[in-house]
Amino acid sequence: MTSRVTFQTVQHLLRTKLGGLALFVFCLTLTGCNQFILLSYLLTGPPSIEPDFDATTRKSMTSHGVTVAIVCYAPTEVKWDTAEIDQQIAKHVAFRLHSKKIKTVAPDAVQAWLDEHSDWDEPEEIGRALGVNYVIYIDVERFSLFEENSANLRRGRTEGLVKVFEMNEQGNGDMIYSKEIVSVYPTQIARDATLTSYDGFKREYLSRLSEEIGRLFYEYYNGDDVHAAT
């Protein structure tokens, strides 16, 4: 019978010294490809997935000296049910990218500029004013925290576009990247509203959404989405 082990099993065993030792011994009992793959996971970790932005543009926001501003726009009809959702999404994405070593302008500084320049029209204006290399512009067309046609089930949904504007030394910007967002969380089944408060689920979903958007700009790994099913 062929031995099988998942990456989640590897993660679980590696949490303890005894588990790590047991896993090493288990590796020795495997043969051929199985042994090579598992030992590779132990030594170097699972294979990473290249950020879509990097793959598309051959540029990277993790490069030395690069600074980024995050701006989110949501139309009035989206904000009727979730006021200030544009600010909240921008803040979560900025914090997410910052945690992955991408240098972002503080969300409060971006929002302060937006408040002072309510007549702004193009993302490049923000990039010019804040002196960044890139502006990530998140255009939210739809946002909801409830399952469709149900007030008793929670399910986060977002549709929109993520665009990136690259600024040059003259303070002009060009859109170099665009990606559609279609986010659903939990991915497999909606959650009973009695299990999570509205505010609690909102925080949870914004964290998940920021992760989905953030992965466009930093590497991640197979198996990272297991927790998002329910």
1 domain-assigned: no
User: Residue 12 sits in which domain range?
Assistant: 7-46
- Give me the residue label for tokens 């803040």: 91
Instruction: Report pLDDT for 111.
Output: 97
Q: How far is CA 97 from the centre of its chain?
A: 8
Q: Is the pLDDT of residue 30 over 70?
A: no
Instruction: Report pLDDT for 199.
Output: 95
User: Which among 138, 173, 154, 176 has a CA at the least distance from the CA of 58?
Assistant: 176
Residues 133 and 187 in one domain: yes
The structural domain count of the chain equals: 2
Residues 215 and 203 in one domain: yes
Banded model confidence at residue 13, pLDDT cuts 50, 70, 90: very low
